[in-house]
A and B are shown apart, each in its own frame.
Chain A
Amino acid sequence: MLFFKECKKIIFSLVFGIYCIALFGVYFTQFANDCKNPMEKPVAGQADYGTIAKEVPEIMMPSAIEGLVNEYLSGEFSAYPYGFYKCVKLKEKDKKKLAEIITELSGISAETLENFDDYEPSGYITKEDGSFVYIDGNIPEINIPSTLTYEDFRELMRKADKIIGGGSKYSDENIVGNFSRIPKTYEDALAEYEQFCKEDKITGAYARLFCDYMGIVLSILPVFVAVFLAERDKKSSMEQLVYSRKISSAKLIFTRYISLVFTMMIPVCITALLAYAKVKSIYPDNAIDTLAILKTAVYWLIPNIMASSAVGMLVTEMISGLIAIFVQSAWWFASVFASSGKLTGSIKNFTFVMRHNALLGRDAFQKEWDIIIFNRIFFTVTSVLAIVLTAILYESKRRGVFNGFQVRVQNHRH
């Protein structure tokens, strides 16, 4: 009964209305926008089936060396240390070290690199019609020494990455994706499509895309609703009336927490049903998994809602609602940017905002399955522990033992 009262309190609040608008906004502008056309079955004889990352030394070595020389001559290196984009400019000492590595890789002497004045960047540029075109720049001629083995090449690239500061295109994580892409064959494309239809049953693939978009907003928005609920007693001058009641702090806090997670899942489930309807409308003749989006949303998104709400409730009890929003925003920002460099296949044990911004790539996702299970259980358990701590703090406040850190600071001032 208390659960329903708490749910009602949340549902009829302004902040929950804003939460719903934001959630539906993301659904319509992102996910629904990506679902306008169905994925076409590959046809034999097509000009292009896209590319695929595959570790092929013969492709990777010249391409990566050319990339390194280009960046060296431009004086700027793109990197994503800790997930954030960084334009790295090297000091003279590091430049010399890198020049030595380039010499070993390409046969270009350090002097040539130093005195090369006619540099023109090479790479893909975007034309007015939106298509990409490769431009041959002007860099010194590369002659990869015949004695350079693939292992030596990878080792030198690791050193180069270290000099740049980590997270560069030459790191172990990024080098294949950046420099070793091969065109897909008809068979590759067909196999992927078959997997999309048969193993993912279409909605399985769309479920990952749905959760990718929704996960971003559901890792930040719940903190606002949680802070609103946690501060409502205080704002309404009702704190002491609630404190003096018989109900145990654990029961009250857990009921409020479950109500929060439950109510915030309602619009998620509605958008999941809308997503199903949308997918069904573009694949009317295919057999699709009816509950795939809903099931994926449950295990993927609930831990995000739980963690964000738990941070909101805990930090509000401990310090203040404003600090809770700040803490969650910082965590969210760091997490989103940490995975911004690689939107698929980058889920780690403690990745808060899981990304898989692609319809295909079931294999990459399945490869990470154990990590994903650990990750989701970790955030669920941690959130519950945070709520246990919140209940302890709440009881201490009720008994006048603890008044929040902010209050103590004020007391010192007096």
Chain B
Amino acid sequence: MAERLQQNFFANHFAKVDKKLKSIVYDDSIAERLCYFFEGNDWMENKIEICHVDKYYGRKKALKNVTLTINQGMFGLLGRNGAGKTTLMKCLATLHSIQKGNIVVCGIPMKNAREIRTITGYLPQDFSMYPTMTVQESLDYLGLLSGMETSLCQKRTEMLLKRVNLIEHRHKKVKALSGGMKRRLGIAQALLHDPKVLIVDEPTAGLDPEERIRFRNLLCEVAEERIVILSTHIVGDIEATCEDIAIMHDGKILWQGTVSELLENAYGKVFTVNIDKKYLPEIKKQFIVTGMLVQNEYVTVRIISENMPEIGANPTEPNLEDAYMYCLYSNGCDVSGGV
């Protein structure tokens, strides 16, 4: 009992100082030792710790000193294409090796890849299944690869196919499924072995608006009982599903926190201005434009600026896209290619 109380105390204590601690730990050896300390602790069981991770593709550094803590629930990883999101997702799914740092998934260090694979479900960005197999056969096969008992696999297949609305298509061949149906089958396969961690990489790319909403809702539902990491470059997906987010750029974590904190950062930095169309190129040169609405000869432009622009602009409530752009801008990223 005393031991349990002691563990809880340390768990709470570390959870509080966690963020601060990592901000001061730059020494890799200390970081690694810290991660080893995390390993095997009960309070780490619903948490992913990424400590000072570097990943190279040949000479190119794809991940640069990535440090991140991911708790239970939905976690959004936002960034441009090529920011390193997929690389990080693959590292978490043990499909990529890392050259430096450490990753601990629910108390399991990355070197124990097989154990991590047991508790992880992965939905890659580009995937399909054997085209000649049916939906049911595909899940049966992947269940076997996950080491599931046949009876359990059948039960979960039925439950998941109902959940993803594919039960009526269970005997359909994979090649006959639409893009949205394939994505839903993808989520079903990732959840088949009831993983504690679900890693979803760009899941809504190529889906129509209706499918996208359905898919986002599905992710929110499954996140109630596990860690779900959603990687995307679509701000709308994050806005609709995540509270905790991180922004990646050029292999680095630029920012980590909650959506409200991100919005708070951008408060007072977003303005709208109504101008003649002919001044638009000049505005684009001077400010970061996040949106515009054309009305005859005039255009209402949404801009980001550290100070109130002296062009008759009015401050406005930032949305997540504005906050994201402001985050990139304030961290010195090139955002000149805006709207």
Contact = CB atoms under 8 A, between A and B. Distances in A.
Interface string A384-412: 00000000000000111100000000011
B130 A238 contact: yes
A9 interface: yes
A184 B91 CA distance: 75
Interface residues of B, number: 33
B96 A246 contact: no
Interface stretch (B36-44, B139-147, B274-282, B303-311): B139-147
A236 B90 CA distance: 19
Nearest to A398: B95
Interface string B101-142: 000000000000110011011101011111110000000111
B127 A241 contact: yes
A246 B118 contact: yes
Contacts, number: 77
A400 B96 contact: yes
A97 interface: no
Interface in A5-19: 5, 9, 12
A398 B91 CA distance: 11
Nearest to A237: B128
Given A237-B128, A244-B120, A399 B97 contact: yes
Contacts of B150: 1
Most buried by B among A247, A411, A412, A414: A247
Contacts of A247: 144-147
B189 A2 contact: no
B93 interface: yes
Contact of B114 (A238, A242, A246): A246
A1 B97 contact: no
Contact of B128 (A12, A238, A398, A401): A238
B130 A244 contact: no
B117 A5 contact: no
Contacts of A398: 94-95, 113
Contacts of A258: none
Interface in A358-404: 398-401
Interface in A300-347: none
Nearest to B129: A238
A243 interface: yes
Nearest to B90: A400
A238 B185 CA distance: 13
B332 interface: no
Interface in B47-64: 57-58
A108 to B, nearest CB: 71
B249 interface: no
B85 interface: no
A401 B120 CA distance: 20
A384 to B, nearest CB: 23
B193 interface: yes
B112 to A, nearest CB: 12
B129 A241 contact: yes
A257 to B, nearest CB: 16
Interface in B64-114: 90, 93-97, 113-114
B127 A246 contact: no
Nearest to B132: A12
A122 to B, nearest CB: 64
Interface string A245-276: 11110001000000000000000000000000
B97 A240 contact: no
Given A244-B120, A400-B90, A411 B145 contact: no
Contacts of A5: 140-141, 144
A241 B142 CA distance: 8
6 contacts: A2-B144, A5-B141, A232-B130, A240-B122, A242-B142, A414-B58
Interface of A: 1-2, 5, 9, 12, 232, 236-238, 240-248, 252, 398-401, 411-412, 414
